[in-house]
Amino acid sequence: MNHALDRRPSKILVVDDRKENLFAMEKILRTLPCEVHTAYSGNEALSLTLRHDFALILLDVNMPEMDGFELAELLRSHEATQRIPIIFVTAINTEDKSVFKGYESGAVDYLFKPVDVDILLSKVKVFLELDRKKKELESIQSELERSNRSLTEFAQVVSHDLKNPLHVITGLSELLLLKYADGLGERGRASIEQIAASAQRMDRLITDLLSFAQVNALSTVYGLVDLNEVLHDVVSDLSSRLEQTGGTVERLDELPRLEADRTQMYQLFQNLLANSIKYHDKRRPPRILIGTIRLASPDVCCFYVEDNGIGMEEKELSVIFNPFTRLSNAQGFEGAGLGLATVRQIVQQHQGSIDVTSEPGVGTRFKLAFPVAQEAAGA
Ligand SMILES: Nc1ncnc2c1ncn2[C@@H]1O[C@H](COP(=O)(O)OP(=O)(O)OP(=O)(O)O)[C@@H](O)[C@H]1O
Ligand SMILES: [Mg+2]
């Protein structure tokens, strides 16, 4: 990946009230690939931390006015400086590390005076390496965010540009059928109907591709979502297909309320239920059951979507969440193989999990789990 890595040298701040100590320390550190800054007092150090992004502060503990611990306390209390690693440099020559207890939460180390050059260099190198890794991660993340944004924009533009001519094809086909049906003859009419149906299929495919591409986009909008309401909307939008097949949807108990993206939760149920209707067994109308599963762990909420459809072969189950995957049972049914891939992306986006069990001729059950942190308190 070609990400713009921040290659500027890491900066280190050395704080000591004694000139000769600063001088000696600076001389040693100059041998490393870093920029060394110095401060004679806590106040000077504070003002430098506001102007520079330090990878590490080497901090003399024993200073007049503000000692090293007081300065560290102040640095930890400010958002901008609280994560700067600190190495305390102290004359306390004791094995008792309790002095440093209060600082265990942040990245902290210590060095005893007189400072051993090798130990100093090896400790500093560790922090420089950490800083390099942190910068690398930051640049990868911003590059990923940028490419995600441009991919989404690209998908939107492409889908818009592809749909326009399709709408012209559909419109003109309808016009031809409406105005010139008589002159077209039986075969002509059938051909035009086929053109219109193909255009509609392509329109659906573009919509599905777009929603698959958009799940990972940065536009996820989290809010309190009542899954019972979402399910209700999905069922009512699928009502004509349910009527055609004589299908029923039963919610056996209350679904959780989640901190989630509502549109994505709608897509999740829409895809699962549409599959249950589409892959129903011709010998019986589709019966879809939705219920919750009580788990021993209070940190996870779990529910399932179960149908009595044609089912899937055990050996094929491992691939169904891959994009553009359709199983042998899908012959004769329309689809792009994107529904479950979209569902899996949505689940991952919400830090959840999904698994499936199925038996040919009996039916399929999708089990979904989301961390309770996602579940609204008091729901
Ligand atoms: N409830 C189900 N019962 C039986 N088979 C299923 C069920 N759900 C999915 N499948 C199988 O898994 C495959 C992948 O499902 P998916 O929803 O991703 O794609 P699709 O339904 O074929 O197309 P699309 O959802 O993009 O319109 C399906 O083609 C089908 O073979
Ligand atoms: Mg599907």
Condensed to tens digits (0 to 9), the pLDDT of residues 248-306 reads 999 999 999 988 999 899 999 999 999 999 999 999 999 999 999 998 888 889 999 99
Q: Whose C-alpha lies nearest to ligand 1, atom 8?
A: 275
Rounded distance from Cα 201 to ligand 1 centre (Å): 16
pLDDT at 116 over 80: yes
Strand pairing of 257-261 and 222-226? antiparallel
What is the distance between the alpha carbons of residues 45 and 3, in angstroms, rounded to a whole number? 33
Ligand nearest to the CA of 279: 1
Rounded distance from Cα 230 to ligand 1 centre (Å): 21
Domain boundaries, the chain: 10-115, 222-374
pLDDT at 207 over 50: yes
Q: Which CATH class is domain 10-115?
A: alpha beta
- Indicate the pLDDT class of residue 375, thresholds 50, 70 and 90: very low
The 3-state DSSP class for residue 375 equals: strand
What is the distance between the alpha carbons of residues 50 and 39, in angstroms, rounded to a whole number? 13
pLDDT at 223 over 70: yes
CATH fold of 222-374, please?
Heat Shock Protein 90 (3.30.565)
Nearest residue to 338 via CA among 218, 231, 212, 245: 212
Assess contact for 111 and 90: CB atoms under 8 A: yes
Q: Whose C-alpha lies nearest to ligand 1, atom 7?
A: 275
The answer to whether the CB of 321 is under 6 A from ligand 1 is no
Q: Which residue has the higher pLDDT, 211 or 316?
A: 316
What is the distance between the alpha carbons of residues 38 and 339, in angstroms, rounded to a whole number? 59
The answer to whether the CB of 106 is under 6 A from ligand 1 is no
Between 59-73, 77-91, 140-154, 213-227, the lowest mean confidence (pLDDT) is in: 213-227
DSSP code string of 91-121: ----S-GGGGGGGTTSSEEEEESSPPHHHHH
Share of the chain above pLDDT 70, in %: 92
Ligand 1 nearest atom to the CA of residue 328, by list position: 31
Matching residue, tokens 């090896």: 122
Ligand nearest to the CA of 277: 1
The answer to whether the CB of 200 is under 6 A from ligand 1 is no
pLDDT at 52 over 80: yes
* pLDDT on residue 378: 43
Between 104-108, 170-174, 269-273, the lowest mean confidence (pLDDT) is in: 104-108
Rounded distance from Cα 232 to ligand 2 centre (Å): 19
* pLDDT on residue 337: 93
* pLDDT on residue 214: 78
Rounded distance from Cα 198 to ligand 1 centre (Å): 20
Between 78-92, 186-200, 259-273, the lowest mean confidence (pLDDT) is in: 78-92
**Long-range CB contacts (< 8 A, 24+ apart) of 168-176?**
169/195, 169/196, 169/199, 170/196, 170/199, 170/200, 170/203, 173/199
The answer to whether the CB of 357 is under 6 A from ligand 1 is no
Same topology between domain 10-115 and domain 222-374: no
pLDDT at 377 over 50: no
pLDDT at 376 over 50: no
Ligand nearest to the CA of 276: 1
